[in-house]
Amino acid sequence: MHTLSKLRELFPDGSNGEFGFPNDLNIIVERGRGAHVWDANGRRYVDCSLAFGAVLLGHADEDVNSAVVRAAAAGDNFGLVSTEMLLLAERLVSIIPCAEKVRFCTSGTEAMMYSIRLARAATGRPLIVKFEGAYHGATDIGCASLVPDPTSNAPAVTRLDRGGSPGLEAELLVAPFNDKVFIELLMAERGDEVAAIVVEPLHRCIPPAPGFLETLRALCDHHSTVLIFDEVVTGFRLALGGAQEYFGVTPDLAGYGKALGNGYPIGAVVGKSELMDLLGENRLGRDDYVWSVSTGGGCTIAAGAANIAIRRYSEAGFHSRLFAVSDELRTLIDDRFGSIGVDAQVLGVGPLLQIVLSSHPIRNSRDMAHPLAAAEQQLMIEAVRGGVLVNPLGTKIYLSAAHSDDDIEFVADTIADAWTSTGLGARTSKLHG
Amino acid sequence: MMGGSITPEPFTRSRAHDDLIHTASTLIPGGTTTSAIPVPGLEFIIDRGEGAYVFDVDGRRFADFFMGSGPLVLGHANVRIRTAIERAASAGTTHQGLHRRTVELAARIVDLVPCAEQVRFCTSGTEATLHALRVARVHTGRRKILKFDGAYHGHHDLAVWSIGGDSNSLPSPTPESAGVQHGVAEDILVAPFNDTEFFRTIMDAYSEDVAAVICEPLQRAIPPAPGFLEVVREVCDRSGSVLIFDEIVTGFRLSPGGAQQRYGVTPDLATVGKAIAAGVPYAAILGKKQLMDHFDHRRARECLSFHCGTFSGYYLGAECAHETLDILVNEGGIDRLNELGELARDAARSCFRDLKKDVQVCGDGSLFEVYFTNQKVCNQADIRRSDQVYAKAFHRKLIEAGIYKSSVKAYLSLAHSQAEIDAYTDACKWAVKTLANR
C-alpha cells in the first residue's frame, strides 16, 4: 500500500497524534457518512470514535454541509465579528446556563487554556486544582496527571513529557474525582490561594457522585474560586446546555470544542461577564488584561456549521433518541458479556460509553487502574480489527444521532466476538483466577 | 480614481447596524473574537467577503488589506476553495485516522519545504508553535526559549511575551497577558531582531540553557538583515539549540518553501498555518526526523513529546491546502503575489514621497507596512520610536476611506490588483491631507 508506507514515512508514529494503533491497524480514510467511515480499501467501519467526538450528528450531515457551502460563498474569515458568528454567540448564551459572554477560538485546547488564564487573572491567585486522570487539552495543565502514578498513594502532579514549563508542580493541585472529603480538606487548607477548580463534569466516562459537583460549586463560592467546567466532550452531547444542564450545577466558566461545529474546528470559552470582560480589548495595557487572539476562531463556515448543528441538537426528542440508542447499546453489551460470563461494566452517560473489565465500583481514575485495564485497550484494538472504529488509547465509545439499531447491534457483536475470538477471554480468565 | 482627490463618504451606520454592534459588545468581550481590534467609533459587523473586499451589514465596501490576518491568500470566497470545501464536506470533514489526501499533502509539503522531513498537522498556529517549542525542550533537555522582541508566535504561555510592550528590560521578557503560569517568565529570553551582536552575547551567556530559538524569519513586516539568519543558524548549531522558524505567516506565501527557501537558511523545525489552507483553520509542524520522532507516542517518557488534538487530522483543511498549493505553487500564484507586493511598496513609496511625509516602507513578498519615521526600521524598538500616535490616527482615516487594514501589516492576496493598490494610495493621500488640516 503506497499511501500507508507514505503515512509511516512522513508522520511520526504513522499517525497524527492520538491513534495508538499497532502499525498493521493504521488505516487511510477515504470518506465518512453518517455513522460509517470507509478506508482506502473500501472497508466500512461503524464509527464509534466520530473523530474523537467531533461529530455528533454523523459524518457529512447534509444540513450542516449545505450551511457550510452557503457560508463559504460569503467568505470564511474576516478578523472581525460576522453576522454568522454573532448569531452563534446569541445561541450559546441562550442555551448554556453559565454563558453570559462568549469568545471563540479553534480548539478545545485553546478554550481550556483561556479559561484557566482568565481564572488566574481574575483572582490574582496562582493555584489550579484538577482531578487526576482528567484531560483538558494539550497544555501543561491540561495533560498533567493524566495517568495516575501507581507509586504514590495520593494523586500527584505528573507530566506526560519533559516539554512543559517549570512552575507546574508548584501551581497545580491534583485531587481524586468524586472524593468529597479530599477536596474539602484541600480547599480548607489552600482554598484562598486557588484560582480555579477545573473539572470534566463527566470525568472521562465516570459520572459525578450525587452531590459532588454541588460540593465543588459550594467550595468555589466559599473561597471565591472560579469553577471551570471542561465541556469539550460533554457540551451538546449530554444535553443541549451540556453537562451543566444535565447535572444541574452551573460553573463560572466553561470551555467547548468538539461537537460544537459537528466536524468543523471551532472552540469557545463562555461564562460570567465579570470574568469574560477581562478579555476585552478596552483593557489592553492593563495588568489584568487577558490576551486572546485567534486567526481561525469563529470563522464563518465553522460558525455556520455550529449554528445549524445546534438547531438540530435543539429539536424536540434529539437527546432522548440519542440516549435511547445509547442505552440500547449498554443493554446489548451487558447481555453479550453476561452470556459469555465476562466480569464487566459499561460506564458513561448517554452517547458516551466505556467498557470496564471490572465489577468494582469506579469512582475515579485510580479505580480505572485495575489489573485488566490493558486488556480494555486490547479489546478496543480487536474491535477495530472487527470493523468498529474506536480510539484504543481512550477506549471511549462515542455514539451519534446517525447510529442505527443495526449499527449498535454490530458494535455489540463485534466487541463480544473480539473478546471470544482473540483469546482475550482465555488470557484474562487466568488473570482473574 | 487616480490622483488622490477622493473624498470618502462619511462613515455612518444604520440603526440595525448599531444594534448589532451593541449586541456584539454585549455578548463578546471587546466586541471582537479573532485577531482584529475594532477601532472605537468605527466598528463594523461583516456581512460577507468577495475577492479583495469585505462588505459590512449596511453594504459598505472595504478594500481588505487585513485578509483575516493572513490566511486568505487567494482572496475571500475563492471559488476553487469553495469547491474544495464542498468536496471535503461530502466525505466527512474529519475522522479518526488520516485521509488519503492528508497523507498526500504531507508528501507535498516535504517536497517543498527545505527543513521538512516529517509532518504533524494541528488546528492553529498557536498549537503548532506550542508543540514545536516542547519538542525542542524534550530534544535538548533544556528549558529556555529565546524569542525576538516584537515577534508573534501565538498565544500560549510560552508566546505571550514582548510583542508590543516596552523593550527596556531585554533580555527579560515583558508579559502581554495576565494569568500566565508563574515560572514561565524565567524561561523566556528576548533579543532584538536583526541585532547580531546582542544575539551572540546572549547566546554565549546562556549557551547551555537555550532549548530553542524561535523566530519569524520575516518579523511582522521587517525583513532579516543580510547575514542575520545565517548567524542565528550558526550560533544555534554551535550551542546545540533547536532553531524554529515560525512560518505561520510566511509559509507558502514568500516562496514555495517559505521564508527558509527565500532567505536560504534552513531551520530544524518550522510551523506553518494561515495561507496553507487559504482561510480554513489548519496548521502544521514540520521538521527534521530526529526531532519529529519525539512525537511518536511509543517513545519512552524521557524522549516523548506529547501531541494531541481533536481536529489535527482535519481532512477539509488538507483538501483546501491542496487546492491552495495548486494555485500558489503550480500555477505561479506566489510569483504574482510577490509582484503585487513590489507594486504596492513602490506605490506607497512614491505616494508618501509626493506627500513629503517621512516614512519607511518595509516588507517582503506580498506583505508590507508603512512606518512613520525617517529612521531605518530593523526591529521592534525602531517601530516603537516611530510616530505610533500618528499611525493610529492614520489607520482610523484609512477605515473611513474604505481601507480595512491593521496597523501591524498589510496583506495582499491573489484577488488584489493595481486597482486596490491605487485605492490604498488614494486613501493614504486623503488621510495624510486630512490629518494635516486638523
DSSP string for residues in B39-100:
PTT----EEEEEBTEEEETT--EEEESSGGGTT-TT-BT-HHHHHHHHHHHHT-SB-SSEEH
A239 three-class SS: strand
Cell 461564562 belongs to residue: A271
Identify the pLDDT of residue B2: 44
- CB contacts of A79 in chain B (<8 Å) are 34-36, 66-69, 406
Identify the pLDDT of residue A254: 98
Identify the pLDDT of residue A151: 82
* A80-101: pLDDT as tens digits: 899 999 999 999 999 999 999 9
Please name the residue ranges forming H helices in A75-148.
83-95, 108-123
* Cβ–Cβ contact B253 with A under 8 A: no
Q: Which of residues 50-89 of B touch A (CB under 8 A)?
A: 50, 54, 57, 66-72, 76-77, 81-82, 85-86, 89
Identify the pLDDT of residue B101: 96
Subunit contact A295:B34, Cβ cutoff 8 A:
yes
Please name the residue ranges forming H helices in A74-179.
83-95, 108-123, 168-171
Which residue in B33, B39, B48, B143 has the most chain A C-beta atoms within 10 A of its own C-beta, making it the best mutation to test that interface? Answer: B33
Cβ distance B260 to B54 under 8 Å? no
Please name the residue ranges forming H helices in B113-207.
125-140, 196-205
Among the partner residues B26, B280, B298, nearest to A76 by beta-carbon distance: B280
How are the residues of chain A apportioned to helix, strand and coil, as percentages rounded to the nearest 5? 45, 15, 40
Cβ distance A162 to A143 under 8 Å? no
What is chain B's alpha carbon radius of gyration, rounded to the nearest angstrom? 22
Subunit contact B35:A295, Cβ cutoff 8 A:
yes
Which residue in A78, A149, A273, A393 has the most chain B C-beta atoms within 10 A of its own C-beta, making it the best mutation to test that interface? Answer: A78
Q: How far is A142 from chain B (nearest CA, A)?
A: 11
Cis peptide before B171 (omega within 30 of 0): yes
Identify the pLDDT of residue A18: 65
Residue B2, Cβ neighbours under 10 Å: how many?
8
- CB contacts of B311 in chain A (<8 Å) are 51, 54, 106-107, 265
Q: How far is B53 from chain A (nearest CA, A)?
A: 10
Identify the pLDDT of residue A274: 97
Subunit contact A72:B127, Cβ cutoff 8 A:
no
Q: Which of residues 320-379 of B touch A (CB under 8 A)?
A: none
Which residue in A28, A29, A384 has the most chain B C-beta atoms within 10 A of its own C-beta, making it the best mutation to test that interface? Answer: A29
Subunit contact B76:A75, Cβ cutoff 8 A:
yes
* CB-defined contacts A:B, below 8 A: 407
Subunit contact A74:B406, Cβ cutoff 8 A:
no
A299: cell is 470563522
- CB contacts of B24 in chain A (<8 Å) are 81, 86, 89
- CB contacts of A280 in chain B (<8 Å) are 29-30
Residue A376 CA to residue A28 CA, distance in Å, equals 24
What type of residue sits at position A418?
Answer: A
Q: What is the pLDDT along chain A (433 residues), one digit of tens a residue?
A: 588 889 889 998 888 876 667 777 888 999 999 999 999 999 999 999 999 999 999 999 999 999 999 999 999 889 889 999 999 999 999 999 999 999 999 999 999 999 999 999 999 999 999 999 999 999 999 999 998 887 888 899 999 899 998 889 999 999 999 999 999 999 999 999 999 999 999 999 999 999 999 999 999 999 999 999 999 999 999 999 999 999 999 999 999 999 999 999 999 999 999 999 999 988 888 888 998 888 888 899 999 999 999 999 999 999 999 999 999 999 999 999 999 988 899 999 999 999 999 999 999 999 998 888 888 988 999 999 999 999 877 789 999 999 999 999 999 999 999 998 777 766 665 444 3
Which residue in B69, B311, B399 has the most chain A C-beta atoms within 10 A of its own C-beta, making it the best mutation to test that interface? Answer: B311
C-beta contacts of B234-240 below 8 A and 24+ residues apart: B235/B199, B235/B200, B235/B203, B236/B203, B236/B268, B238/B207, B239/B203, B239/B207, B239/B208, B239/B210, B240/B140
Q: Which of residues 210-249 of B touch A (CB under 8 A)?
A: none
How buried is B237 (Cβ within 10 angstroms: 0-12 exposed, 13-18 middle, 19+ buried)?
exposed
Nearest to A165 by CA among B321, B212, B342, B184: B184
Residue of B nearest to A1 (CA): B100
Please name the residue ranges forming H helices in A227-358.
242-247, 273-276, 300-313, 318-340
B245: cell is 522558524
Q: How far is A386 from chain B (nearest CA, A)?
A: 16
Cβ distance A325 to A237 under 8 Å? no
Subunit contact B158:A164, Cβ cutoff 8 A:
no
Residue of A nearest to B116 (CA): A10
Q: How far is A230 from chain B (nearest CA, A)?
A: 15
Subunit contact A82:B187, Cβ cutoff 8 A:
no
- CB contacts of A163 in chain B (<8 Å) are 133-135, 137-138, 305-306
Residue A36 CA to residue A30 CA, distance in Å, equals 11
Nearest to A79 by CA among B70, B145, B306, B138: B70
* B298-313: pLDDT as tens digits: 888 788 999 988 998 8
Subunit contact B103:A110, Cβ cutoff 8 A:
no
Subunit contact B131:A59, Cβ cutoff 8 A:
no
Cell 527596556 belongs to residue: B168
**Which residues are CB-neighbours of B101 under 8 A, at least 6 positions away?**
B315, B318, B319, B322
Q: How far is CA B111 from the centre of its chain?
A: 23
User: Which residues of chain B fall below pLDDT 50?
Assistant: 1-3
Subunit contact A83:B30, Cβ cutoff 8 A:
no
Identify the pLDDT of residue B1: 41
User: Across chain B, how many H-helices and E-strands are there?
Assistant: 13, 15
Residue of A nearest to B21 (CA): A81
Residue of B nearest to A301 (CA): B280
